[in-house]
Structure 1
Amino acid sequence: MGNTHAPVNGVLLIDKPAGPSSNAVLQRAKRLLGAARAGHTGTLDPLASGLLVIALGEATKFSGGILGADKSYRAQLKLGERTETGDAEGAVVSHTEVKVTRSELLAALEHYRGEIEQLPPRYSAIKHRGRPLYAYARRGEHVPRAARRVAIRRLELERFEGNTVGFFVECSKGTYIRALAEDIGAELGCGAHLAALQRASVGPFALPQATTLEALEAISPAERRERLLPLEALLQSWPRLTLQPPLAASFRQGRTMSVDSASGSVAVFGEDAKFLGIGQVDASGTLQPKRLLALS
């Protein structure tokens, strides 16, 4: 069953319910696993549910490996209502009669596929002069927001019933689904807000792989540890570099060395396939250790 007193290092995939904050879910998972450190690789608003990728112990050193990964969501829009925050948590600020056809909706979705310039929501954590935008919005202050280039790789209509629209979206880092919902509503001329959101994937991780906090609580500490993925799962998309024992020992001591590898960031392993850390290979073939797994 494994040593339940050993340090907890790994990746935990949680199916977050709508309601609690991402940090509340993170802290509960950390406690259930008995981990010394924990962090997630991308927050979900309290309203949102779905996949939350949690790094525990030494895995927190490498969570940056998927911070830039694409994500996918299932979203529900309510047409004809705009809210203060762009989602169901905010007060309704306008009502408009909805006279939208399916063909008009499909045309609007087509307009937002590909690379687009997106204006972040007023209620977002993006900083302006050191303060998040939502801090200004809550005080009724309007500050300039710069549009950001994001990529909508897939945008598919899944449901259209009355004033409710369900769609699936796969997008790049930094895409606000709330802003996308509002933009689609504006394109249709009736306004809209994000009524519900579920994150379906983060990089290589998908929601069916995840477990709930309730399921974790129902099993033993040893069984909880068995739900962990190895921390190198965070680096699946990275080029892999395997070192022979003498070089592996030098790498673990933080020494640079010449290697036969293309330049760029690499996930480094020993000959026994044991993960050692991450490094950077320069144009001359010199490997510089950047972040090392603590010696066990």
Structure 2
Amino acid sequence: MNAPAPRVRTPRKPLHGVLLLDKPLGWTSNDALQKAKGMLRAEKGGHTGTLDPLATGLLPLCFGAATKFSQVSLDADKRYTATLRLGQRTTTGDREGEVIAEGPLPTERAAIEAACHRHTGDILQTPPMHSALKHEGKALYEYARAGVEVERPARAVTIHAIDILEWHAECLVLDVSCSKGTYIRTLAEDIGQALGCGAHLSALRRTGSGPLRVEDAITLEALQALSETAREARLRPADSLLAAWPAVHLPDDEAGRFLNGLRRRVGLADTPAVRVYRRPPEPPDAPVAFLGTAHISAGELIADRLLSPIEVQETPS
């Protein structure tokens, strides 16, 4: 019997940047990451916050040096298009669960507007049992599947705005802008309770994360159709996650010391978070190099997260 042919491993390469992916329905965030990582042949990658398989939309993927700054996207405000099925409560709070209660549908828009307004601002949410939140090392959904209820303390979140996009009969579509850690499934149930009819989440699409928007994202199918060079061209610079932060530019000699972790004196006001660049001496329009992040305290620039010298060379400006 002939021995099986040895498995050929796809060679990986160092890529640095952020891919805005439009995650498909039914995929886990990690499945989507691994698929995109394979298509790019990237050595290192990670996603910036889990989207449930039933959710679609914006999933920023970080590769190489960009993974050092993924927490910024994790902490950013989010925006969603949420579709609620009014008049039905389910065991899971979404369409996958069994219907456990039904109620009369609202007949006036004013009642819906009032329920949404009641859940805008700083509110407390109890995390749903069907979530990935951990309890004693296990995800809550594992307990839920075993029929075990775990006590969950309420958590403070902020709902910046809820706008009604569409409403007819049992279907209510909302545009929700919120802080990180908000459970839209719980928000749907709470709005249904406020209306007295019950509700569950029938569809969810993430449309924004900080300054990033789903309109700029690419689907896996579209990414697959591109050439290798075109796929890499879809990567945004590693510092694109930090676009809202002030920028500090250092001359070559100061930049080298900063990369070695040394504090630098700067004539700037105290700032909790800045992005730092090396400014080449000439020509004046030469591209700058991203070095990492820092904060300014008492006139000193203090490094927080730095790229390695090799990453600085490999990271496109």
Match of 1:85 in 2: 92
Q: Give the superposition deviation at 1:42.
A: 1.2
Supply the distance in 2 between the matched residues of 1:164 and 1:101 (Cα, whole angstroms). 13
1:185 paired with 2:192, answer yes
RMSD between superposed Cα atoms in Å: 1.6
Q: Which amino acid aligns with 2:73?
A: I
Q: Once structures 1 and 2 are overlaid, which stretch shifts more, 252-261 or 240-249?
A: 252-261
1:135 paired with 2:142, answer yes
Match of 2:275 in 1: 267
Q: Give the superposition deviation at 1:290.
A: 2.2
Q: Which amino acid aligns with 2:21?
A: I
Q: Give the superposition deviation at 1:153.
A: 1.0
Supply the distance in 2 between the matched residues of 1:101 and 1:136 (Cα, whole angstroms). 39
Q: 2:82 aligns with which of 69, 75, 78?
A: 75
Give the TM-score taking structure 2 as reference length.
0.88
Q: How many residues align?
A: 292
Pairing of 1:105-144 with structure 2 (within 5 A)? 105-144=112-151
Pairing of 1:216-255 with structure 2 (within 5 A)? 216-255=223-262
Supply the distance in 2 between the matched residues of 1:142 and 1:214 (Cα, whole angstroms). 40
1:63 paired with 2:77, answer no
Secondary structure at the counterpart of residue 174 of structure 1: coil
In structure 2, the gaps of 5 or more residues are 1-10, 281-287
Match of 2:49 in 1: 42
Q: Which amino acid aligns with 2:254?
A: L
> Conserved in 2, the CA contact under 8 Å of 1:19 and 1:47?
yes
Supply the distance in 2 between the matched residues of 1:287 and 1:204 (Cα, whole angstroms). 25
Match of 1:10 in 2: 17
> Conserved in 1, the CA contact under 8 Å of 2:106 and 2:112?
no
Supply the distance in 2 between the matched residues of 1:20 and 1:128 (Cα, whole angstroms). 24
Secondary structure at the counterpart of residue 145 of structure 1: coil
Match of 1:285 in 2: 299
Secondary structure at the counterpart of residue 304 of structure 2: strand
> Conserved in 2, the CA contact under 8 Å of 1:22 and 1:45?
yes
Q: Which amino acid aligns with 1:285?
A: G
Q: Once structures 1 and 2 are overlaid, which stretch shifts more, 11-20 or 119-128?
A: 119-128
Secondary structure at the counterpart of residue 34 of structure 2: helix
Secondary structure at the counterpart of residue 187 of structure 1: helix
Q: Give the superposition deviation at 1:99.
A: 4.1
Match of 1:294 in 2: 308
Q: Give the superposition deviation at 1:5.
A: 8.3
Give the TM-score taking structure 1 as reference length.
0.94
> Conserved in 2, the CA contact under 8 Å of 1:263 and 1:285?
no
Q: Give the superposition deviation at 1:148.
A: 1.3
Secondary structure at the counterpart of residue 67 of structure 1: helix
Supply the distance in 2 between the matched residues of 1:250 and 1:114 (Cα, whole angstroms). 45
Q: Give the superposition deviation at 1:6.
A: 5.9
Q: Give the superposition deviation at 1:255.
A: 1.8
Secondary structure at the counterpart of residue 117 of structure 2: helix
Supply the distance in 2 between the matched residues of 1:240 and 1:209 (Cα, whole angstroms). 24
1:159 paired with 2:174, answer no
Match of 1:199 in 2: 206
Q: Once structures 1 and 2 are overlaid, which stretch shifts more, 70-79 or 129-138?
A: 129-138
> Conserved in 1, the CA contact under 8 Å of 2:12 and 2:42?
no
Larger Rg: 2
